[in-house]
Amino acid sequence: MAGSLTSFEPATGAELWTGTEGDVDAAVAAARAAWPAWAARPLAVRIETMRRFANAARGKLDDFADLLARETGKPLWEARTEAEAVINKVDISVSAYAERTSQRRLEGALGSKVAVRHKPHGVLAVLGPYNFPAHLPNGHIVPALIAGNAVVFKPSEKTPAVGEFLTRLYHEAGVPEDVVQCVQGGPEVGKALASNLDIDGLLFTGSARAGLALHRQFAETPTRILALEMGGNNPLVVWDASDIAAAATIAVQSAFMSAGQRCTAARRLIVKDGAHEPLVEAIAKLADRIVVDHPHATPAPFMGPVIDNGAADQLQDAFLELSGRGGRVIRRLDRPNEDLPFLTPAIIDVTEVELRPDAELFGPVLQVIRVPDFESALAEANATRYGLAASLVGGSPELYDRFWANVRAGVINWNKPTNGAPSNAPFGGIGLSGNHRPSAYYAADYCAYPVTSSEGESARASIGVGLRDPNEIEG
């Protein structure tokens, strides 16, 4: 018997959505049966269907943003930005498909032609996260559908209502219901979907721990595509910044946007020892001004709650561990209401903490690390198994060139926050941040595979060497 699933609003604790777990085997079988007809539709028809999807989302933008805000707890302005990103993804994906998987005709030997075209994989599973429960899975699903794949989508069990809403928009646009399906459920349903041998690939956004488990599992089936988009322990290096106020603003945006629940959020602020105090003081004063409130509050908050009380508990425990191991608290991680997952922005100097944990603290916690020179700053930035985002604030163009050349990350910025990567560029990382299959503009790469064909209008062949003279062969 299928289990039940309930979603609660983080900001209020009110029940938002309830439903039952989906049947993975039935969904994959239906997708498998429906896929050939969808793949056979002309590319222009699939693209036009996606444009209708964008229009459907645009027509329900207010409802979409409201649901996103209520289920994730993010401020309404930020939820609206996410809903708009869902809409904008269509045009970006159309352009990316044309550029990344374009058909090409080349000249071959003996007057033949060489054609390079792309085919869809078949049935792709998509596992979505809770922090951007519409934008991030949509970033997999739209390119997959354009390429001609069928999709079985499991939203995060913490944001099932958004997943259901998003899937309904695809259907309203004309995508057949069996071609894109939403299967609700918790981790066990996700495991069942990933282990179903009738999927042709899995597109994942989530934690490094889950991604590593999937990588081990898919090692036994190299015939299936696996695209992993995981988190980061991202460094923000501020060095010789001439504008302290601007540097502090970039640090706050990097660390505390989305309540720190972005995979690209700055977790570590690396600064020059002895010259750090004005910057850290400016960051702390700006953090004190941050409004933390429910999504629809007036004035609009900068931050909402983290996703649930369990996440808030884990963050508080991690913060206490850092302070207990020698971290100097600059701003505490306070929880104004123990019954709700609202947290205040926290800053802690962990320079003296030995064996600092290389962990992604997925919340509003910024760790300050003081170093003596820029070489040490680079070493500290790379002192992580992750490699998603890194940013340098300050310095000269020559210093940025040195930073870019030596820091290990897939997103490297200068005088910009670590987060807010553009959708019209590739997005991904190295190490525990991904498996070299970047998403965003490059999602087209893992949604179809290239096929090379040598073609001639008539059969012509000869063997020039290695054959005996036919006259020498006795009858």
What is the set of active-site residues? 229, 263
- Whether 245 and 282 have beta carbons less than 8 Å apart is answered as yes
Kindly tell me the burial class for residue 1, based on how many C-beta atoms sit within 10 Å of its own C-beta (0-12, 13-18, 19 or more).
exposed
- Whether 350 and 369 have beta carbons less than 8 Å apart is answered as yes
Helix H or strand E segment including 55: helix 43-59
SS3 labels along 34-46:
HHHHHHHCCHHHH
| Eight-class DSSP state of 369 | E
- Per DSSP, the residues of 92-133 read HHHHHHHHHS--EEEE-GGG-EEEEEEEE-SEEEEE--SSST
The rounded distance, in Å, linking the Cα atoms of 177 and 166 is 13
Q: Which of 244, 247, 207, 248 is nearest to 228 (CA)?
A: 207
Beta carbons within 8 Å of 216's beta carbon, 6+ residues apart = none
Count of all residues that appear for the chain in the document: 475
Alpha helices in 159-207 (DSSP H): 160-173, 187-195
∠ Cα 279 280 282 (to 5°): 65
Q: Which of 150, 158, 152, 160 is nearest to 184 (CA)?
A: 160
- Whether 80 and 72 have beta carbons less than 8 Å apart is answered as no
β-sheet with 411-414: strand ranges across = 328-331, 346-349, 365-371, 266-272, 234-238, 389-393, 411-414
The rounded distance, in Å, linking the Cα atoms of 442 and 142 is 12
